[in-house]
Structure 1
Amino acid sequence: MLIQILKSKLHRLRITETNLNYIGSISIDEDLMDASNLIEGEKVQVVNNNNGERLETYVIKGKRGSGMVCLNGAAARKGQPGDIIIVISYALMDFEEAKQFKPTVVFF
């Protein structure tokens, strides 16, 4: 049996910009991606603490060291710069493997 569990989380991250006229996704500073064990193209859930919006999208690499967290395309309508968000990814694992797995969580 496979179950879905928390894999990675960027907790209380701030949106730095939005770009409505870009192909959808969320751009995240590559350093933040590395710290949270996220890869480009990975599906994530984005939860906006300021307005309660939730969305699913995928990660695009942002400029390393920039601190960039940018909602792109339609996602840009779900938040604004300064909003606090949580970026979450999940993984499918065998039940026994999942019991031993430790997610990567980065707090801001």
Structure 2
Amino acid sequence: MKKVLWFTFIVAMASLLIGCGTINTVVRDDSVARRDLSRVSSPCATIPRVYSGVAYNICTLRGKPSRTSLWIGGVPELMLVDIVLSSALDTVILPYTIYEQALEGNLDLE
């Protein structure tokens, strides 16, 4: 029984991290955020690297909902949870993202 609970916990955490705005913009390649936001026809042209996870989530909300592109299945309430978690993670990695913003500028989505 414990193994099943641990497996479920690991799968749930992996699912959350795959869809996390901060993970998609800081850890993964810029092309991932570009592709994901183009799937929802987001009006955002750029995202600042500082607090990029929050900006990514807001741009996702501003786009057209799509079952295949939104990790949360199009439920805005769950996206708000991700915004809160992304803001906490963005705050923790703030020194790194400030450096990246100075070095590379905004994340270009076009």
Q: Which has a greater percent of helix?
A: 2
TM-score (norm: length of structure 2): 0.27
**Structure number with higher relative contact order (C-alpha < 8 Å, ≥ 6 residues apart):** 1
TM-score (norm: length of structure 1): 0.27
Higher-Rg structure is 2
